[in-house]
Amino acid sequence: MATIRDVAALADVSTATVSHVLNDTRPVSQALRDRVLVAMARLSYQPDAVARSLRCRETLTIGLFVPSLEIPFYAWVAGSIETAAHNAGYNVILCNSGWSLQRELSAIDELLARRVDGLVCISLGVRAEHIRPVLKRSTPVVWFERSLPGTDLDAVFVNNFKGAYDATQHLIELGHRRIGCITGLVNSQLSNERVDGYRKALADAGISFDPALLQRGDYMPPSGRLGAEVLLAQSDPPTAIFAFNDLMAMGALQAFTRLGRRIPDDVALIGFDGVALAEHTCPPLSTIEQPIPAMAATAIKLLLDRINDDAPSQGRVVTVEPRLIVRASTVGYASGAVST
């Protein structure tokens, strides 16, 4: 394996000159720089990344942890963040917590031990006291999908209130008056914001809120199936259901099929997230799309601003707008079948 001395000998320069070219620590004439680069190419020289990280106090790596890669939404997020980081010259170390707080905390320790330059975090369990030791080490952190109460961190998330409002309003405009919801986890900021948006759309349309139309889910298809079955078993069942993510909506589709309900003539359905699979269900699923690639690019920019000491002292919160995508799971509904 070629060394920096081999490069210096072939280029007929000092090892210090090679070091300055590699690390951009001192101006080097273009002629000398070209000789060094040619020598590196001929020798297939690869700089020692570990040594460089110790010398420059940066590793050009970013840590990312997500709750579950079984959920296509988080796989989409992870891929988008990796792409945005790669475009900026950074690698990503991915940690999948499996919804475990202990695994999240272990991931934080491991990522810090690997001297990552910053963290992008998606977590429902981590609290302010867990992240403060990271901040004391001056490791920049960006929160994704929600903010973290008790901290002043940079954060990027979608306008959940508006997304839920738009989904509910879409169903109301189709003639629905009883709209069921399959919500998210208990004490979830994200889920609470979507419930608020749902309730506000009902109120604006003069429709009373009925708590019996809310069923708790866990973002996985079985909870969507169960929630839909419970809702449709009511004496006055909903004519439409809004699931708080696309996977639960897909579970609800299973329930409709098992119960012999026509979609959307008997019951309409809309999800949230806009994952690619939603377009390929039968019928294709209406959804509220989160602009994940743009959110990921924003998260990486916020993080790099921190890494490069080019950010204000106070945390920055970026809220992006979702987009209603209308497909066959709602638009074919026969509004005359709904009592008003």
Question: For residue range 248-291, what is the model confidence (pLDDT) as tens digits?
Answer: 999 999 999 999 999 999 999 999 999 999 999 999 999 999 99
pLDDT for 213 equals 98
What number is the average pLDDT over the span 308-314? 90
pLDDT for 113 equals 84
Q: Topology of domain 160-290+324-337, per CATH?
A: Rossmann fold (3.40.50)
What number is the average pLDDT over the span 145-159? 91
User: CB of 131 within 8 A of CB of 151?
Assistant: yes
Task: Look at 10-14, 183-187, 299-303, 336-340 and tell me which has the smallest mean pLDDT.
Answer: 336-340
Separation of alpha carbons 41 and 260, rounded Å: 66
pLDDT for 197 equals 98
Helix (H/G/I), strand (E/B), else coil: 45: coil
Helix (H/G/I), strand (E/B), else coil: 316: coil
Instruction: Provide DSSP, 80-120.
Output: HHHHHHHHTT-EEEEEE-TT-HHHHHHHHHHHHHTT-SEEE
pLDDT for 220 equals 94
Pairwise pLDDT comparison (340 vs 271), residue with the higher score: 271
Q: How many CA atoms lie within 13 A of 134 on its CB side?
A: 30
Does the CA dihedral 229-231-236-238 come out positive or negative? negative
Separation of alpha carbons 87 and 83, rounded Å: 6
* CB-based burial label for 17 (10 Å; 0-12, 13-18, 19+): buried
pLDDT higher than threshold 80 for residue 144 = yes
* Predicted model pTM: 0.81
**Distance between start and end Cα atoms, the chain:** 78
Query: What 8-state DSSP symbol labels residue 276?
Result: G
Task: Give bridge partners of residue 181 from the DSSP assignment.
Answer: 214, 242
Measured CA to CA in angstroms, residue 160 lies from 77, 285, 316, 326 at distances of: 16, 19, 18, 18
- Measure the CA angle with vertex 167, ends 165 and 172; round to 5°: 90
Q: Residue 127: pLDDT band by 50, 70, 90 thresholds?
A: confident
Pull the structure tokens for residue 127. Answer: 């609290």
Pull the structure tokens for residue 273. Answer: 């997230």
pLDDT for 146 equals 86
pLDDT for 240 equals 98
User: CB of 51 within 8 A of CB of 23?
Assistant: no
Helix (H/G/I), strand (E/B), else coil: 182: strand
What number is the average pLDDT over the span 97-119? 89
Pairwise pLDDT comparison (113 vs 322), residue with the higher score: 322
pLDDT for 59 equals 81
Pairwise pLDDT comparison (323 vs 58), residue with the higher score: 323
Residues 138/139/140/145 CA torsion (nearest 10 deg)? -130
Same fold: 4-47 with 61-157+292-319: no
What number is the average pLDDT over the span 225-233? 98
Q: Into which CATH architecture does domain 61-157+292-319 fall?
A: 3-Layer(aba) Sandwich (3.40)
User: CB of 172 within 8 A of CB of 159?
Assistant: no
Q: Residue 57: pLDDT band by 50, 70, 90 thresholds?
A: low
As a residue count, the chain comes to: 340
Percent of the chain predicted with pLDDT > 90? 64
Amino acid at 20: H
pLDDT for 337 equals 37
Q: Residue 135: pLDDT band by 50, 70, 90 thresholds?
A: confident
Q: Into which CATH architecture does domain 4-47 fall?
A: Orthogonal Bundle (1.10)
Domain ranges of the chain: 4-47, 61-157+292-319, 160-290+324-337
Q: Residue 25: pLDDT band by 50, 70, 90 thresholds?
A: low
H or E segment and range at residue 189: helix 189-204
141-144 and 118-121 as β-strands: parallel, antiparallel, unpaired?
A: parallel
Cα Rg for the chain, rounded, in angstroms? 25
Report the candidate in 33, 30, 12 with the shortest Cα–Cα distance to residue 22.
33
Cβ atoms within 10 Å of 220's Cβ, excluding its own: 16
pLDDT for 125 equals 84
Q: Residue 169: pLDDT band by 50, 70, 90 thresholds?
A: very high
pLDDT higher than threshold 70 for residue 103 = yes
pLDDT higher than threshold 70 for residue 24 = no
Mean pLDDT value across the chain: 90
